[in-house]
Amino acid sequence: ICVSTCPDRYLTFLTARASADLAYYRRFCVPEFHDLQKPPLQVLKDKECPAVIIPSTPLVRRCFPAIHAKQGVIMVGNKTTYDDGHGRQRNVTELLEGAKKANVVLEARQLAMKIFEDYTVSWYWIIIGLVIAMVASLIFIVLLRFLAGVMVWVMIVMVILVLGYGIFHCYLEYAKLKGEAGSDVSLTDLGFQTDLRVYLHLRQTWLAFMIILCIVEVVIVLLLIFLRKRILIAIALIKEASRAVGHVMTSLLFPLCTFFLLCLCIAYWASTAVFLSTSNEAVYKVFDDSACPFSGQTCQPETFNASNVTKLCPDARCSFAFYGGETAYHKYLIVLQFFNIFMFFWLANFVIALGQVTLAGAFASYYWAFKKPDDMPAFPLFSAFGRALRYVPPPGRAAELLEVELVSPARLSSRYHTGSLAFGSLILAIVQVIRVLLEYLDHRLKAAENKFAKFLLGCLKCCFWCLEKFLKFLNRNAYIMIAVYGTNFCTSARNAFFLLMRNIIRVAVLDKVTDFLFFLGKLLIVGSVGVLAFFFFTHRIKLVEDTAPALNYYWVPILTVIVGSYLIAHGFFSVYGMCVDTLFLCFCEDLERNDGSPERPYYMSPELSHILLRGHLEPSK
C-alpha cells in the first residue's frame, strides 16, 4: 500500500488495538478498513492491516527496515529488542534474515550516494580533463597532417612507454605491500566489497593489473615486429588521408552532428519505452481460501461488497493481484516493446549510415579530383550531405564522359540515396532484433535443464553475432560505393564485396594495419589523459596538490575521464578511419578502371602511387 511516511516505531496490531496508537497504526492499513470491532484474526486474514510494523527508512519509494550497527551492536530504530505482541521481548537480530536483501540495497544506496558526492565536487575537473583530451586529439590530428610518418612512430613508442610505466607502477605497488597485514588475502576470499579502495590494498590486485599490462605490451611489440614493413605502406595511406582531411577540415566536426542525431534517437526510444512500461493498470482479483466459483476472476474494490460474490462466497475478498491488464493492448505490450526496440535500431543505424555516406562522399570527391584540390567542390562535406539526401542529376554529357574514364565517378552520383541507406539499415536492424530475441529467450530458459536447447541457443547467438559483424563491414563499404557511383544498395554491396575479394591481400594487410595504428593513437591519448587524471586526483602533483578535491573514491572521476577521453578520441579517429577506407576502396577501383596511360590516367596522388604501386605497376606520368 502507499503511505505518506514510513513507520517510526515498533507496534503489533494487537498492541495498537488495545492502546491509543490505533489511529497511528491505521495509516498503514488499507483505506477500506473502517470496522474497528472486527476480530483481529479476520482483519489479518483479509489483509486489511499488517500484523506488525517496525521502524523503517524510505529508499526508492519503498520502506525498508532501519537496520544499522552501533559499536558492533545490531540495532533497529535505536533499539536492540522489540515486543512481539505476546508480552515477550525479542532480539532485533531475528529481523536480519528477513531484511538481508534490504541490507544489500541499503549498501548499494550508500555506494551510489558516495559516487554522487564525488561527482558533485569533481565535475568541473572532469570537464577540464575531457577538454584536454579533445585538444590533444585535435593537435594529434593536425600534426598527422604535416608529420604523419614521425607522428606514427612517436605514437608507437609512446604507447609502449606508457604501458611500460603502467607495468613498473604496478610492480612498485605490489612490492610495497609485501609484508603488510592483510595484503595477502586473495580476491576470492575477500568477495565483493562496496568500498573498492579495499582491493587496492591487496597484492593480488596489483599482480593482476601487471599481468594484463604485460600481455598487452607483448602482443603490441610482436605485432609491430611482424608488421614493420607493412607499417610503412600504412603510413603512406595515413599521409594521404591527412591531406584529404586537411582539405575537408569540417569533417572533424561532423561526428558531433551524428552524435546529436543519435541522442535524439535514444531519447525517443527511452521515452516511448517508459510510456509503454507505465501504461499498465492495477488488476484486482477474487481470492478465497475455500471453494468459490468466482476465485481468480477480476473485480472492482469499490463495488465488490455490494456484488453477488460476497453473498455466494462470504469469505471472498477483492485483493490487488498485479499491474497489467487483460485487454488486447496489454496482452501485446511486449510486442510493442520489441517493435520500439526495432525502430530504435533502424533509426540509429540510419543515422550512422548517413554519417558514413556523407564522409565517404566528401573524401571520394578528393580522390577522384584529377587536380587536387582544384577540381574539388567548394564545400565537399555539404555537397556530400546533399547527395546523401537529395541530388540533382548531372547533364547527359557526364554519362558519355564516364565511358571514356575522363570524369571522376564521385561527380556522377545522381540518385536519391535515402532509400538505400534505409534499406541497408533495415537489414542490420532485423539481425540486431533477432539477437535481442535470442537474449530474451536465453534469459527465459536459464532455469531449464535442457542442455540441447541451451547449446542450440548458444550456436544461434554466435552465428547472428558473426552475421551482424559481417553486415556492418559490408554496409560500410556499400555506403562508400553509393557515395562514389550513386547505385542502389544491393548493387553497391555486391560491387564492394567483389572488389574487396579481388584485393583481399591488400584489405587484410593495409586496411587492418591502419586500424591497428589508429587504435594505438586512441590508446596513447586515453593513456596519457588517464595517467594525468590519476596523478591529479590522487594528490601526487605537488603544484596542484591542494587544488584537487577530497574524494570518497578517486577512481570515479578517473574512470569517467578515461571513458570520455576514449569516446572523444574515437570520434576524431573515426573520421580518419572512414577516410582511409574510402581512399583504399577508391584506390582499388582506380586500379581496375585505369592503367596509368595518358588516355586512362590514375586519379591517385603521385605519393600514393609511388608507395602502393611499387613493384607492381608503373605510376602515371
248-292 pLDDT tens trace: 888 888 888 888 888 899 999 999 988 888 887 778 888 876 778
pLDDT of 401: 39
pLDDT tier at 427 (50, 70, 90 boundaries)? Answer: very high
pLDDT of 447: 67
DSSP helix/strand/coil, 157: helix
Average pLDDT of every residue of the chain: 79
For residues 472 and 480, what is the distance between their CA atoms, to the nearest angstrom? 13
For residues 364 and 483, what is the distance between their CA atoms, to the nearest angstrom? 8
Share of the chain above pLDDT 70, in %: 86
pLDDT of 340: 92
pLDDT of 99: 62
pLDDT of 342: 93
Q: How many CB atoms lie within 10 A of CB 361?
A: 29
Mean pLDDT within 37-47 = 83
Q: Would you kindly state where each structural domain of the chain is located, as residue ranges? A: 11-87, 126-267+374-391+414-615, 282-323
pLDDT of 74: 67
pLDDT tier at 574 (50, 70, 90 boundaries)? Answer: confident
Residue 469 predicted with pLDDT over 80: yes
Give the lowest-confidence range in 166-175, 279-288, 492-501: 279-288
pLDDT of 542: 75
Q: How many CB atoms lie within 10 A of CB 491?
A: 15
Residue 431 predicted with pLDDT over 90: yes
pLDDT of 468: 92
Angle subtended at Cα 287 by Cα 281 and Cα 289, rounded to the nearest 5 degrees: 160
Residue 402 predicted with pLDDT over 50: no
Q: What is the pTM of this model?
A: 0.68
- What's the burial of 275, exposed, middle or buried (CB within 10 Å: 0-12/13-18/19+)? exposed
Residue 621 predicted with pLDDT over 60: no
pLDDT tens-digit map of 307-333: 777 777 877 888 777 777 767 777 788
Asked if residues 241 and 580 have their Cβ atoms less than 8 Å apart, the reply is yes
Mean pLDDT within 205-216 = 89
Sheet strand arrangement including 298-299:
298-299, 281-287, 317-324
pLDDT of 620: 44
pLDDT of 433: 92
Give the lowest-confidence range in 14-28, 103-117, 447-461: 103-117
pLDDT tens-digit map of 50-71: 888 888 888 767 787 777 666 6
Mean pLDDT within 570-588 = 84
pLDDT tier at 615 (50, 70, 90 boundaries)? Answer: very low
Peptide bond before 598: cis, by omega within 30 degrees of 0?
Answer: no
For residues 556 and 115, what is the distance between their CA atoms, to the nearest angstrom? 7
Three-class DSSP labels, 243-275: HHHHHCHHHHCHHHHHHHHHHHHHHHHHHHHHH
Residue 485 predicted with pLDDT over 50: yes
C-alpha cell belonging to residue 262: 543519435
Query: Of 412-421, 450-459, 509-518, where does the model show the most confidence?
Result: 450-459
pLDDT tier at 301 (50, 70, 90 boundaries)? Answer: confident
pLDDT of 413: 46
pLDDT tier at 184 (50, 70, 90 boundaries)? Answer: confident
Mean pLDDT within 577-586 = 85
Asked if residues 28 and 3 have their Cβ atoms less than 8 Å apart, the reply is yes
Residue 400 predicted with pLDDT over 50: no
The helix (H) or strand (E) run that includes residue 572 is: helix 555-593
Residue 396 predicted with pLDDT over 50: no
Greater confidence (554 vs 482) lies with: 482
Q: Give the closest residue to 527 by CA, choosing from 156, 159, 213.
A: 159
pLDDT tens-digit map of 589-607: 888 887 777 778 878 777 7
Three-class DSSP labels, 377-446: CCCHHHHHHHHHHCCCCCCCHHHHHHHCCCCCHHHHCCCCCHHHHHHHHHHHHHHHHHHHHHHHHHHHCC
Residue 426 predicted with pLDDT over 90: yes
Residue written as grid cell 566489497? 193
pLDDT of 463: 93
pLDDT tier at 406 (50, 70, 90 boundaries)? Answer: very low
Residue 111 predicted with pLDDT over 80: no
Spacing of C-alpha 514 from chain mean position: 25
Residue 586 predicted with pLDDT over 60: yes
Mean pLDDT within 234-240 = 78
- Tell me the pairing of strands 81-83 and 89-91: antiparallel
Angle between helices 418-444 and 333-367 in degrees, nearest 10:
140
pLDDT of 412: 46
Greater confidence (217 vs 547) lies with: 217
